[in-house]
Amino acid sequence: MDLSHFKCLKCGACCRQEGYVRLEKNEADIIAGFLSMDVLNFIETFTMLTKDRSGLSLIEKENGDCIFLTDAGCRINAVKPRQCLEFPVKWKFKDFENICAWAATALKKTKRLKT
């Protein structure tokens, strides 16, 4: 699928997929500052050590959603991690085309053009 014209529809599907949202160097500091929190408090409250112990990941809610996903969208959208910013160009999740609202719309358009 050609992702060069990707425009996020803010459906939140990518924020509901299981897996790590790894934080890169300084991202915990940036997000903590945005939330007006001490970085150590942010780390204790909103992150966990990855199983391979190589870094921090945002935690998930009990239902698997990103901890920062709200009914209004991403609570930290202005400072979200690079991994989130690079979606879907740099990463995809299982069944991306069936879950992402933009991808599903793009696939339908492609199929209509082929018929």
pLDDT digits (tens, 9 = 90+) for 70-110: 999 999 999 999 999 888 777 766 677 777 777 777 766 65
Q: Specify the long-range contacts of residues 78-85, CB closer than 8 Å, at least 24 apart.
A: 78/34, 79/30, 79/31, 79/33, 79/34, 81/21, 81/22, 81/23, 81/24, 81/27, 81/31, 82/24, 82/27, 83/21, 83/22, 83/24, 84/14, 84/15, 84/21
| Residue 69, in any domain of the structure | yes
| Residue 9, in any domain of the structure | no
| Residue 87, in any domain of the structure | yes
| Residue 30, in any domain of the structure | yes
Domain that holds residue 30: 18-93
Note whether 102 and 13 are within 8 A (CB).
no
- For the chain, helix (H) and strand (E) counts, in that order, are 5, 4
| Residue 66, in any domain of the structure | yes
> What is the average pLDDT score of the chain?
86
> Rounded mean pLDDT of 46-50?
96
pTM of the model: 0.82
Between CA 114 and CA 108 the distance in angstroms is 10
> Rounded mean pLDDT of 27-53?
97
Confidence at residue 30, expressed as pLDDT on a 0 to 100 scale: 98
| Residue 112, in any domain of the structure | no
Between CA 42 and CA 48 the distance in angstroms is 11
| Residue 101, in any domain of the structure | no
High-pLDDT (> 90) share of the chain, % = 56
| Residue 47, in any domain of the structure | yes
Neighbours of 68 (CB within 10 A): 21
> Rounded mean pLDDT of 18-45?
96
Q: Which residues pair with 60 in a beta bridge?
A: 66
Tally the domains of the chain.
1
